[in-house]
Amino acid sequence: MSILRAILSGDPPRGRPLALVLTAIFVGLAFAPLLFPGIGALNVAAKICYFVVLAASYDLLLGYTGVVSFAHTMFFGIGGYGAGLALYDLGPSWSSILIGTGAALLVAIALALVIGLFSLRVRAIFFAMITLAVANAFSILASQLSSFTGGEDGCTFRLPELLRPGFRLVAGPFAISGRLISYYLVFFAALILFLLMLRIVNSPFGRVLQAIRENEFRAEALGYRTMVYRSIGNCLAAAAAALAGVLSALWLRYTGPAVTLSFDIMLDILLMVVIGGMGTLYGAVIGATIFVLAETYLQSLMAALNHATEGLPLLPLLFHPDRWLLWLGVLFVLSVYFFPAGIVGGLQKRR
């Protein structure tokens, strides 16, 4: 138990209900290829993994630092384009992945630092508007530089042989596919990144970020340079988002504006953080899992309900599959109403 507590940086889930939910999610993702056979289920599990990292990195910025940014998908896209373009231009090798990841991290951190130094001095709403403008400009730039980025169509690339779907590694009676290796690469990388962020928020640096969030003037009076801490927090969140973009590109073998730079993704991760609970990285895990599952399977569930209620008044219209976004909005409203502090906050109160 002490080893687990150390791995979780002295911040284990508070309360048995929360611990059970997180354990179920961890087990489901760790054994997804065995529990949920089929490429569709594996795609969903991999998407949950890299969206957990993306949502947790945004929670590091919003929930722990109190900074509202709309440029987070820009850093996600930088990671995706960094790895994707390196693999496309330099060839499908591990060195290409390392070069692309390193370049993406440098660009993301440099942009986050510049945005932070020039924008974090203004009020929260003005900083949010500045980040929105920068993100839109970056998205337009990526779409227009078609000779370099592939434009609106994006860029498809090949992976090293070990990660290709057609690869087979035979070990006695067992055969391991490249798709399975790719999944566990994404899973373990996401797990390590999440634990590193958990370490950051539970370090003295993380405590200062929370103090700045609660009362910036008091933290400044105590001698902490809030501008410096916020800028570093912004850079750390940008780096984690870029690494989530790298994981997304490696799994999809594709990168483009629709899957990395869309403002819809920004809204999605904001909903994940709010639903799960701001200021607690565990909320990002629960929020990302619920949102991705709802986004993937809610329409199919409504189609089944629509078929089951045929012949009844109004119900088939309400459960029409084309209205799945309406019900997703209803689920979001209900979650905010019954869990105003997020699902994690609600589960902690029930311990």
Task: List the chain domain ranges.
Answer: 2-349
Q: Which of 98-112, 122-136, 223-237, 259-273 has the lowest mean pLDDT?
A: 122-136
Q: What is the pLDDT of residue 172?
A: 63
- Asked if the model's pLDDT at residue 351 lies above 60, the reply is no
What's the pLDDT score for residue 68?
84
Q: What is the predicted pLDDT for the residue at 39?
A: 87
Closest CA to 136 of 277, 232, 256, 263: 263
Q: Identify the pLDDT of residue 120.
A: 61
Q: Binning pLDDT at 50, 70 and 90, where does residue 252 land?
A: very high
- The yes-or-no verdict on residue 111 having pLDDT over 60 is yes
3-state secondary structure the chain: CHHHHHHCCCCCCCCHHHHHHHHHHHHHHHCHHHHCCCHHHHHHHHHHHHHHHHHHHHHHHHCCCCCCCCCHHHHHHHHHHHHHHHHHHHCCCHHHHHHHHHHHHHHHHHHHHHHHHHHCCCCHHHHHHHHHHHHHHHHHHHHHCHHHHCHHHCEECCCCHHHCCCCEEEECCEEEEHHHHHHHHHHHHHHHHHHHHHHHHCCHHHHHHHHHHHCHHHHHHCCCCHHHHHHHHHHHHHHHHHHHHHHHHHHHCEECHHHHCCHHHHHHHHHHHHHHCCCCHHHHHHHHHHHHHHHHHHHHHHHHHHHHCCCCCCHHHHCCHHHHHHHHHHHHHHHHHHCCCHHHHHHHHCC
pLDDT tens across 114-126, in order? 887 776 666 667 7
Q: Give pLDDT tens digits for 311-343.
A: 777 777 777 777 777 888 888 888 778 777 788
Q: What's the average model confidence in pLDDT over 163-179? A: 79
Distance (Å) of CA 120 to CA 55, 114, 129, 222: 21, 10, 12, 20
Find all residues with CB under 8 Å of 104, minimum gap 6, and list them: 78, 79, 81, 82, 83, 242, 245, 246
Q: What is the pLDDT of residue 122?
A: 62
Q: 177 φ, ψ to 5°?
A: -90, 160
Backbone φ and ψ of 309, nearest 5°: -105, 15
Residue 235 burial class via C-beta count within 10 angstroms: exposed 0-12, middle 13-18, buried 19 and up = buried
pLDDT at 2 exceeding the cut of 80:
no
Confidence of residue 240 (pLDDT cuts 50, 70, 90): very high
The larger pLDDT score, comparing residue 128 to residue 114, is at 114
Whether the CB-CB separation of 64 and 278 falls below 8 Å is answered with no
125 vs 240, higher pLDDT:
240
Please give the pLDDT value at position 277.
87
For residue 245, is pLDDT > 80? yes
What span, in angstroms and rounded, lies between the C-alpha atoms of 144 and 59? 31
- What is the Cα–Cα distance from 233 to 239, expressed in whole angstroms? 10
Q: Does domain 2-349 have CATH number 1.10.3470?
A: yes
pLDDT of residue 307: 81
Provide the pLDDT confidence category of residue 262 given band limits of 50, 70 and 90: confident
- Give me the pLDDT at residue 124, please: 64
